[in-house]
Chain A
Amino acid sequence: MSLHPRRRAARRVRLLSAQWPALVVLTVIWVLLWGDLSWANVLAGLALAVFLVVVFPLPPIVSDGRFRLVPFLNLAGRFLSDLVVASFKVAWVALRPGPAPHGAVVQVRLRNAQDVYLTLTAVLSTLVPGSLVIETRRDAGILFLHVLDIEASGGLDGVRRDILALEARVLRALASDEVLARCGMPDGRSVVDTVRTTEGEG
């Protein structure tokens, strides 16, 4: 698609102003890296941020989401405790005598295939329970996970249940009401209820 140069410039300005959160974050990172809050650092960081956003443009994130504080804290808290538990589990598997456990590849179909939530669920699940995302099917919202110890993770259904519960926490923290309703998770129910519902489906 060839646009008139002026319209293209206008579009670029609009894209740039739509990406102001990226500009702010990049500037803050720059200032933190220098470890010193001064006008020179802020201006240099801002210039660099604009340069990066213009030269390496990213597709805009579909932001129909809604931030909810309590579910977000629940997501973050569970993430931290899972990270600690999973780390010590993997450390124990590495150090204990005997052969390595039985690995498996599990296919999980998420409720919601939107990029943002798919990515967040994939990243968090790689960091957390004994699982590692090796492949995704983006259009269908399917994750393929390698599981280090399939017996200890409760078998295929146990892994699916854990991942869907993680996705439920992500959606509850960040997705719009509409998305929650579409996924069968109307607002007001606790995360525990959602996990139970998922168990019933599995």
Chain B
Amino acid sequence: MTDVDAGFWTTVADTVAAVCLLAGAFLTFAAGVGTLRFPSLLARMHAVTKPQVLGLILGLTALALRVRNWSAVAMLVLVVIFQLATAPVGAHLVSRAGFRTGKVDETELQPNEMDPSSTDDPH
């Protein structure tokens, strides 16, 4: 590989990293806005599980493309795996605790199949 090629691929990696970083920052920002703006506990949990996780993945991808160091990349992959494994569990536990302790305003859930009066299997 010549020097020109190496320089070219470095530019490509840097550009992709910049795009990933911007997209990740946008999604993380939107997650923050959603957490603030959404009216209920359950809706807020959506903001913290979806855009936040992908925002982090994109940010770390950008970091991996810039750092170009295998042991650092391995660590970043671990962060992503743990995030994917723990974020849904955390959101699920918060939602379930909210539901069980009556912190969720059930009147705004239309329809609400959790309602004790509709426990029959809908199928």
Given A33-B75, A100-B38, A132-B92, A87 contacting B27 (CB threshold 8 A): yes
Smallest CB separation, A137 vs chain B (Å):
10
A90 touches B123 (CB 8 A): no
Q: Once the chains are docked, how many angstroms separate the CA of A35 from the CA of B49?
A: 28
Mask for A94-112, Cβ within 8 A of B = 1, else 0? 1100011011111101000
Residues in A neighbouring B39, C-beta threshold 8 A: 99-100
Q: Once the chains are docked, how many angstroms separate the CA of A102 from the CA of B38?
A: 11
Q: Does A122 contact B (CB under 8 A)?
A: yes
B75 touches A32 (CB 8 A): yes
B110 touches A132 (CB 8 A): no
Give the B interface residue count (CB, 8 A). Answer: 47
Q: Does A72 contact B (CB under 8 A)?
A: no
Q: Once the chains are docked, how many angstroms separate the CA of A32 from the CA of B78?
A: 8
Identify whether the interface residues of B are mostly helix, strand, loop, or mixed.
helix
Q: Does A53 contact B (CB under 8 A)?
A: no
Q: Does B87 contact A (CB under 8 A)?
A: yes
Which of B71, B95, B121 is A134 in contact with, Cβ under 8 Å?
B95
Q: Of B37, B45, B77, B88, which is in contact with the most chain A CB atoms at under 10 Å from its CB?
A: B88
Q: Does A126 contact B (CB under 8 A)?
A: yes
Mask for B28-56, Cβ within 8 A of A = 1, else 0? 00110110011110110111011101110
Which of A29, A107, A127, A148 is B113 in contact with, Cβ under 8 Å?
A107
Given A93-B34, A148-B43, A107 contacting B99 (CB threshold 8 A): no
Smallest CB separation, A6 vs chain B (Å):
38
B111 touches A156 (CB 8 A): yes
Q: Once the chains are docked, how many angstroms separate the CA of A32 from the CA of B72?
A: 9
Residues in B neighbouring A83, C-beta threshold 8 A: 50, 53-54
A104 touches B88 (CB 8 A): no
Given A87-B55, A90-B47, A94-B47, A105 contacting B111 (CB threshold 8 A): yes
B91 touches A91 (CB 8 A): no
A102 touches B110 (CB 8 A): yes
Q: Once the chains are docked, how many angstroms separate the CA of A156 from the CA of B34?
A: 24
B113 touches A87 (CB 8 A): no
B122 touches A107 (CB 8 A): yes
Residues in A neighbouring B75, C-beta threshold 8 A: 32-33, 35
Q: Does B1 contact A (CB under 8 A)?
A: no
A-binding residues in B (CB < 8 A): 26-27, 30-31, 33-34, 37-40, 42-43, 45-47, 49-51, 53-55, 71-72, 74-75, 77-78, 84-85, 87-89, 91-92, 95-96, 99, 108-114, 121-123
B-binding residues in A (CB < 8 A): 29, 32-33, 35-36, 83-84, 86-88, 90-95, 99-100, 102-107, 109, 122-123, 126-128, 130, 132-135, 142, 144, 146, 148, 150, 156
23 CB < 8 A contacts A-B: A84-B54, A86-B50, A87-B50, A88-B51, A90-B51, A91-B31, A94-B38, A95-B34, A102-B110, A103-B43, A104-B109, A104-B112, A105-B112, A107-B113, A107-B122, A122-B92, A123-B88, A126-B88, A128-B50, A132-B49, A133-B88, A135-B114, A156-B122
